[in-house]
Amino acid sequence: MDGSLALEIPQIFPEIALSVFGIAILLLDTFLPKSKRHAATGIALAAIALTAVFTLGLVGEDGTFFSGMIVVDGFSIFLRITFLVVGALTVLASSSYATRENLAVGEFQALVLFAIVGMNLMAASNELIMIFLGLETLSIASYILLGIKRSDAKSNEAALKYFLLGSFSSAFMLYGIALAYGATRTTNLEAIGREIAAGSAGMTLIYVAVGLLFVGFGFKVAVVPFHVWTPDVYEGAPTPISAFMSVGPKAAGFAVLVRVLMVAFPAAYAKWLGLVWLSAVLTMFVGNCVALVQSNIKRMLAYSSIAHAGYILVAVATRNQEGVAALLFYTLTYALMNIGAFTIVSLVSRQGDRKTYLDDYAGLGFKQPGLAAALSIFLLSLAGIPLTAGFAGKFFIFRAALESKFVWLAIIGVLNSAISVYYYLRVIVVMYMKEAPDDWSPVAMSSSAIAVIALSVLGILQFGIFPDMLISLARSSVIGYR
Amino acid sequence: MEIAVFLFLSGIAIVAAANILVQRHPIYSALSLIVTFVALAGIYIQMHAEFIAVMQIVVYTGAIMVLFIFVIMLLNAGAEQKVPDKVHVVKYFGLPLASLLIFEAGLTASRTFDGEGIPVESASINLSGNTEMIGRALYTQYALPFEVTSVLLLVAIVGAIVMAKKEL
Amino acid sequence: MPHSILTLITFLPAGGAALLLFWPRTGASAIRNIAMGVSLLTLLLSLPLFPAFDTSNPGMQFEQSAAWIPSLGIRYHVGIDGISLFLVLLTTVLTPVAILSSWKSIQTKVREYHLFMLLLETGMIGVFVALDFFLFYVFWEVMLVPMYFLIGVWGGQRRIYAAVKFFLYTMVGSVLMLLAIIALYLLNGATTFDFPAILESLHQGNLILSPGQQHWLFLAFFFAFAIKVPLFPLHTWLPDAHVEAPTAGSVVLAGVLLKMGTYGIVRFCLPLFPEATREFTPFISLLAVVGIIYGALVAMVQTDIKKLVAYSSVSHLGFVVLGIFALNEQGLHGAMYQMLNHGISTGALFLLVGMLYDRRHTRLIDEFGGLADPLPVFSAIFMIVALSSIGLPMLNGFVGEFLILLGAFDADRTYAVIAASGVILSAVYMLWVYQRVVFGQVTNPRNRRLLDLDFREKLVLLPLVVLIFWMGIYSESFLRKMDGSVSQVLQHFRSSAVVMKH
């Protein structure tokens, strides 16, 4: 047994590499003079690149490792890559942001790496305990990142709010894990599934456990009615972190939710399906309808991210492979558009994150056409206009929903996406159809931000016009997935 | 008898936990937390988890809570100001709903177990001390979670420094 | 003719737009020339389609098909038949006209304006040539974006309201259509989005839609198309969009965009859901007739010429829908023909209104009067176009309306009679507005000094006037090309309906 553990270490090379580099950045940061500390960004990017190599090296693996603690399969590899993309974009986007806002670059980038470790572990977990540990690693890193602007009251509020509600949701989740353990005497997902299938577990307890787990994950991914923290936190957070929060933890949360529900509790999940359905509908409606009246763009994007959680929940509700593949496609492409949009918001907000209102975008369309065009593409993609990845993602989700005979869910979904068009267009209206104020000051660009925006635009168009490669990959990733 | 002891200990734990929230002075809250921990340790002993019980006392009560109280005294934190509740929803709905949840959870739990708990494999406990079993589990089956926990703690430490350090 | 001709025609304007994207924004006249050149080149490329089109073949021609998203069975499949041929040509004719018409009136953000114009052309042609449902939907939606910007940036006072309303109305309808498309794909075994393939399996009996499925799928498709047409009572976006859009936008909107709705009905609703079509025919015909009368009555009381023309569109498109749902040869022919007529006549009307607006910066009827004196050429062309819109024999409008009424009379006499009174009403509002604007003494002294049409403006109107006469006098050259495809639609329709009954 001891020997086999060592042999299994390559399976977690990605996480090891990220952790080692995270620690290296922290160490280096202490010894480097202040002027050279931005090297952390380069190291973090190198770490992510190396991790990507390790992760791709795992392609083809299929099995559980470390006494069934983690599972390496197409699903987890796809997600790990998604998280690395999210991480790379976040690192890039925050490097200039951290300089502008005078934040500690080293700690910032190291924490982003640790957050990726947490997400990776969640995606690869085959164990409720491992899931919890991954989630906590991610959460603690997020708490700090949210509050990293220590002198900013809003940032503090965001961190505190997320911390309190995050701990609260963790408690729900632990309660659910404890009950699941109580009913099945195991925390291994597959073993739980076997126990339940064998009929040796107390079903009432399982139902409650699944309910509690759903509540716990519901907080993390911000589905109604567990969404109330989202707008405040996204608004107050440093903008690149708002971007990160809206895509990374959300993708990880959904991925784990799907795995837990479909591997461990398929029968109990069927019982809860009505509530998942209701939650999806409410999430879409609340997110979209409240977003209609927002004047702060960060809050608007926060509500939009709630609405998108609703669409993803539709994919979760379908319970078929097509739906899971759509979820994988959607989370990756959603990450591109949302990080892109938030990056532009962060640029436009100028120093101190002051200009985050809709009116601050007046005239941007003709003052800085490139920037405005990119933001328009992100918004149109969020709205689901064809030829963008956002449309392809929604297309796959609604296709899966119809395939599972969720006709009403699909209808409500598409109507919601029509509602959402209104508030995304509002930004475009302000950018192109209102005149710039007289005291217009140009938006300062940085090469790293331009890189983020360019990569996101390219990704959105690539996956929007030719989604075949990515969706085929996503589909093959979920083959054999129970 | 066993049930009676369990009910007694858990009762203390719950009352003390509630007291943490009710008290306005942080010192009283901290002391109540210690009571909760001790009561929990008692429950662990009942479950033949002596090692965990001892760790609970030594680490939480002995080390962490002492630090807590130390910090509170250092900061000279006084009783908190009573802020009038703006949101009555919490008052009128929160408590009843929370009680309802606890009641439901208790009900389902009692129904499921039907008076019978999961049998503890006491044979193995008697075979070797459970400290050894914990050690064995931690370094074999749970080796990975054990290591991940260290990363988790590292992140937490980094976070504490980032939040608290004067100049970064 | 190379087999990728349609692809070339479709994407040439987009290529022009891409060129403009990297063109320095300072060279306004160069930008106009590029846009004009690209749209003229597109027109030149599309014109040979007309003679090359094989009249004896009712099916798809100039087809091109390539895998696009193979894992979902989505193909890039384009082709045209007698129904779409003329709509493509209409688009390629109207776009250069529209661009030329805005030569002087668009002076701000010239590069973006032409960029969106060219993108719009790609979108419009794409809708008419797409034979894959997914491809069709993509063009259908994408085309909204440039139109939205054209109205919203270069429009009038309430342009933002109009632009957003336009976008949202269309969006709501089309998302439901998207679901219907996906449902159709899944019912057909989830193998292909190809329209001819799905139609084929429907005819082969491989795909059998239950009456309930037909019912809902038809409604989902029809709702999207009816908004676009726009069929009463879904028409409220149209007056706003028309009034606020810049002249070229109105021309394209009335000329081409509205036809997408009626085109969709003929192309998809009729062949795919024959039973449901029969089921809803009385109801839809009623709405069409209400639209005819309502549009005409509201047009009559307008004080703004542009709004009047906009409401007349509601009335005219009512005719088209009535013709389609007569479900016989004459009706469908008339509807197809009237689609072209409306595109040309109403396009020309909007151009004329735009020319007036350029001169006086108002469109209120009261501001004008006696324009025949200072603007003789304008008044003459206005006369021709107004008469074409009314449906005077020898002009194009007559042929279409006559065929539609003939078909409608066959299908339902009551509706035909009421619709015929709509023709009279249209004569009333059109002649009345003409009389108030053109005849009599010059009431407003500011109108006395107005200059008549210059060379560019005449050049803009010339092709349309030529078409008005040509289509009115020798309609055979157009009808013959449509004939095969129209008959085939009806034949499919009838045979499917028979199959259903068994």
* Mean predicted confidence (pLDDT) in C61-84: 86
Cα–Cα distance measured from residue A9 to residue A72, given in angstroms and rounded to the nearest whole number: 12
Distant-in-sequence contacts of A265-268, Cβ < 8 A, 24+ apart: A265/A180, A265/A192, A265/A193, A265/A196, A265/A206, A265/A209, A265/A210, A266/A193, A266/A319, A266/A482, A267/A196, A267/A197, A267/A203, A268/A196, A268/A203, A268/A206, A268/A207, A268/A209, A268/A210
ipTM of the modeled complex: 0.88
Is position B124 within any domain?
no
What is the residue whose two structure tokens read 């609405």?
A: A307
One-letter amino acid identity for A453? I
- State pTM to two decimals: 0.89
Domain holding B93, by residue range, is: 83-113
C105 contacts: CB under 8 Å, gap ≥ 6: C246, C247, C354, C358
Decide if C160 and A385 are in contact by the 8 Å CB cutoff.
no
Tracing tokens 């099945």 back to the chain, one arrives at A184
Kindly state whether residue C176 falls inside one of the protein's structural domains.
no
CB proximity C171 to A under 8 Å: yes
Provide the token pair at A277.
Answer: 């359905």
Token pair of A378, please? 């992100």
Task: Check pLDDT > 80 for residue B104.
Answer: no
Categorise residue C32: left if φ over 0, alpha if ψ from -120 to 50, beta otherwise: alpha
Quick check: C499 pLDDT over 60? Answer: no
pLDDT at A306: 93
User: Residue B120 domain-assigned?
Assistant: no
Do B30 and B69 reside in the same domain of the chain?
yes
| Shortest Cα–Cα distance, C140 to chain A (Å) | 9
Residue C62: DSSP 8-state: E
Tokens describing residue A273: 């399906």
Q: Do the Cβ atoms of A291 and A423 come closer than 8 Å? A: yes
Asked if residue C246 belongs to a domain, the reply is no
Task: Write the burial class of residue C2 (CB in 10 Å: 0-12 exposed, 13-18 middle, 19+ buried).
Answer: exposed
Which of A386, A407, A468 is closest, CB to CB, to C141? A386
pLDDT at B162 over 90: no
Subunits touching B (CB < 8 Å, at least 3 pairs)?
Answer: A
Best mutation target among A288, A320, A421, A479 (most C Cβ atoms within 10 Å) is A421
Asked if residues A123 and A255 have their Cβ atoms less than 8 Å apart, the reply is yes
d(CA A205, nearest CA chain C) in Å: 38
In angstroms, the separation between the Cα of residue C168 and the nearest Cα of chain A is: 7
Average pLDDT of chain C, as a whole number: 85
Per-residue pLDDT at A382 exceeds 90: yes
| Run of H or E including C378 | helix C376-390
Per-residue model confidence (pLDDT) at position A11: 83
Interchain contact, A183 vs B112, CB within 8 Å: yes
- Is the pLDDT score of A141 beyond 90? yes
In a domain, C38, yes or no: no
| Residue A378, pLDDT score | 94
Tokens found for residue C450 = 């107005």
Taking the Cβ of residue A366 and every Cβ of chain C, the question of whether any pair is shorter than 8 Å is answered with yes
pLDDT surpasses 70 at A99: yes
pLDDT category at C303 given cuts 50, 70, 90 is confident
Helix H or strand E segment including C447? none
Interface of A with C in 191-230 (CB under 8 A): none
Flag whether pLDDT at A113 surpasses 90: yes
Q: How many CB pairs under 8 A join A and B?
A: 88
Q: Which positions in chain A touch B159 (Cβ < 8 Å)?
A: 111, 140-141, 143-144
- Closest partner residue to C71 (CB to CB) among A386, A415, A475 is A475
Q: Would you state the structure tokens that stand for residue A47, as one six-digit string? A: 């770490």
Please give the structure tokens belonging to residue A108: 């910032």
| Res. B123: pLDDT tops 50 | no
Residue of B nearest to A3 (CA): B140
Provide the pLDDT for residue B86: 62
Task: Give the angle subtended at the CA of A77 by the CAs of A76 and A83, to the nearest 5°.
Answer: 85
Task: Give me the DSSP letters along A92-117.
Answer: HHHHHHHHHTT--HHHHHHHHHHHHH
Whole-number pLDDT of residue A276 = 87
Answer whether A475 touches C (CB < 8 Å): yes
* Chain C residue at shortest CA distance from A403: C186
Number of domains in chain B: 3
Q: Is the pLDDT of residue A329 over 90?
A: yes
Is the pLDDT assigned to residue A118 strictly greater than 90? yes
* Cis-peptide, bond into residue A437, ω within 30° of zero: no
* Of residues C211, C185, B152, C284, the one with CA closest to residue A400: C185
C392 near A CB under 8 A: no
**For residue C284, is it within any domain?**
yes
**With an 8 Å Cβ cutoff, are C71 and A402 in contact?**
no
Can you read off the two tokens belonging to residue C216? 């809902």
In a domain, B118, yes or no: no
Please state, in angstroms and as integers, the Cα–Cα distance from residue B62 to each residue in B56, B75, C60, following that order.
9, 20, 85
Q: Is C219 touching A (CB cutoff 8 A)?
A: no
Residues B19 and B57 in one domain: yes
Residue B91 and residue B139 in one domain = no
State the pLDDT at residue A91.
93
pLDDT of residue A6: 75
* Res. A208: pLDDT tops 70: yes
A contact set with B (CB within 8 A): 1-2, 5, 12, 19, 23, 26, 66-67, 69-70, 103-104, 107, 110-111, 114, 117, 121, 127, 129-130, 133-134, 136-137, 140-141, 143-144, 147-148, 150, 175, 179, 182-183, 185, 202, 204-205, 207-208
Q: Stretch A219-227: mean pLDDT, rounded? A: 87
Chain A nearest-CA distance from B156, in A, is: 6
Chain B residues near any Cβ of chain A (below 8 Å)? 104-105, 108-109, 111-113, 118, 140-145, 148-149, 151-152, 154-156, 158-159, 161-163, 168
Buried b (16+ CB within 10 A) or exposed e, B117-131: eeeeeeeeeeeeebe
Which tokens belong to C487? 């008959």
| Cα→Cα distances C419→C295, C310, C318, C388, Å | 12, 19, 9, 17
Domain hosting residue C464, numbered range: 276-502
C307's tokens: 């709004």
CA distance C326 to chain A (A): 31
| A-chain residues near C69 (CB < 8 A) | 466-468, 471
What chains are in contact with A, requiring at least 3 Cβ pairs below 8 Å? B, C
Inter-chain CB proximity A432 and C144 less than 8 Å: no
pLDDT of residue C476: 82
Measure in Å the smallest separation between the Cα of B1 and chain A Cα atoms.
22
Contacts of C182 in chain A (CB under 8 A): 395, 398-399, 402, 410
Q: Helix or strand or coil: residue B112?
A: helix
> Could you say which of C68, C71, C149 has the minimum Cβ distance to residue A432?
C149
Q: Is residue C296 part of a domain?
A: yes
- Helix runs in C47-190, H state only: 49-52, 82-101, 110-129, 133-142, 144-154, 159-187
Span A444-470, pLDDT tens digits: 888 889 999 999 999 999 999 898 888
In a domain, B8, yes or no: yes
| A124 or C444, greater pLDDT | A124
**Chain B residues within 8 A of A182 when measuring between CB atoms:** 109, 118
The 10s digit of each residue's pLDDT in C167-181 is 888 888 888 899 899
Name the band, by pLDDT with cuts 50, 70 and 90, for residue A50: very high
Ramachandran category for residue C75: left, alpha or beta (phi over 0 → left; psi -120 to 50 → alpha): beta
Mean pLDDT of B103-114: 67
- pLDDT score of A242: 92
Using a CB–CB cutoff of 8 Å, tell me whether C160 touches chain A. yes
- Nearest-CB residue to A137 (from B104, B140, B155): B155
**Domain match, B54 and B74 both:** yes
Average pLDDT over residues C474-483: 82
Contact C459, C36 (CB under 8 A): no
Q: Nearest to residue C418, comparing CAs of C492, C320, C319, C493?
A: C319
Strands A70-72 and A63-65: antiparallel
Q: Which of C69, C138, C164 sits opposite A386 (nearest CB)?
A: C138
User: With an 8 Å Cβ cutoff, are A432 and C159 in contact?
Assistant: no
Q: Indicate the residue type of C326.
A: A
If one counts the domains in chain C, the total is 1
Least confident of A320-329, C25-34, C92-101: C25-34
Q: How much of chain A exceeds pLDDT 90, in percent?
A: 35
| Confidence check: pLDDT of A107 > 90 | no
Residue A29 CA to residue A111 CA, distance in Å, equals 13
User: What's the pLDDT score for residue B83?
Assistant: 65
- B27 with B50, same domain? yes
Whole-angstrom Cα distance, residue A87 to residue A22?
13
Q: Which of A214-218, A287-291, C105-109 has the lowest mean pLDDT?
A: C105-109
Instruction: Give the H/E segment covering residue C336.
Output: helix C329-360
Torsion A173-A177-A183-A184 (CA) sign = positive
Question: Quick one: DSSP state of residue B62?
Answer: I
CB contact under 8 A, A141 and B151: no
Question: By C-alpha distance, which of C187, C58, C118 is closest to C489?
Answer: C58
CA angle C426, C432, C436 (to 5 degrees): 150
CA distance, residue B152 to nearest chain A CA (Å): 5
Residue pLDDT, tens place only, C438-449: 887 877 777 777
Report if residue C9 sits inside a domain. no
As given in the structure block, the two tokens for residue C469 are 């006469």
Interface check A282 vs C, CB under 8 A:
no
Q: How far apart are CA C485 and CA C61, in angstroms?
A: 11
Which residues in chain A are closer than 8 Å to C160, comparing Cβ atoms? 429, 433
Please tell me the predicted confidence (pLDDT) of residue B117: 47
Binary contact (A468, C175; C-beta < 8 A): no
The tokens for A198 are 């064998």
What pLDDT, on a 0 to 100 scale, did the predictor assign at position A102? 82
CB C324 within 8 A of CB C482: no
pLDDT of residue B116: 46
Cβ partners under 8 Å of residue C13, min gap 6: C38, C39, C42, C95, C118, C119, C121, C122, C125
pLDDT higher than threshold 70 for residue C109:
yes
Residue C244 has pLDDT above 50, yes or no: yes
What per-residue confidence (pLDDT) applies to B126? 52
Largest CA distance in chain B: 59
pLDDT (average), residues C28-56: 86
CA atoms of A313 and A326, how far apart (whole Å): 11
| Cα distances (Å, whole numbers) of residue C213 to A9, C180, C199, C207, C376 | 55, 10, 15, 12, 58
Which among A376, A381, A402 is the top mutation candidate for probing chain C, defined by the most C β-carbons within 10 Å of its own β-carbon?
Answer: A402
Cα–Cα distance for residue pair C395/C264, rounded to 1 Å: 27
Please, do chains C and B touch (3+ CB pairs < 8 Å)?
Answer: no
Interface check A432 vs C, CB under 8 A = yes
pLDDT over 50 (residue C360): yes
Instruction: Give the DSSP letter of residue B120.
Output: P
Q: What is the pLDDT of residue B115?
A: 45
Mean per-residue pLDDT for A10-15?
Answer: 86
Question: What are the residue ranges spanned by the domains of chain A?
Answer: 2-477
**Which of the pair, C418 or C371, is modelled with greater confidence?**
C418
Please state, in angstroms and rounded to a whole number, the distance separating the CA atoms of residues A62 and C144: 46
Contact residues on chain B for A66, CB-CB shorter than 8 A: 143-144
Of C138, C142, C164, which has the smallest distance from its Cβ to A425's Cβ? Answer: C164
Q: How far is A270 from chain B (nearest CA, A)?
A: 19
Task: Say which residue, C28 or A191, is predicted with more confidence.
Answer: A191
Is C427 inside a domain boundary? yes
For residue C492, how many C-alpha atoms fall within 13 Å in the half-sphere facing its CB?
26
CB contact (8 A) between residue C186 and residue A467: no
Higher pLDDT residue, A121 or C458? A121
Confidence check: pLDDT of A437 > 70: yes
- The Cα–Cα gap between A288 and A421 comes to 9
Q: What is the CATH number of the domain that holds B7?
A: 1.20.120.1200
Beta bridge partners of C65: C77
Structure token pair of residue C248: 């070229």
Please report the pLDDT score of residue B85 as a whole number.
Answer: 60
pLDDT in tens, B19-42: 888 888 888 888 899 999 999 999
User: Does residue C480 sit within a domain?
Assistant: yes
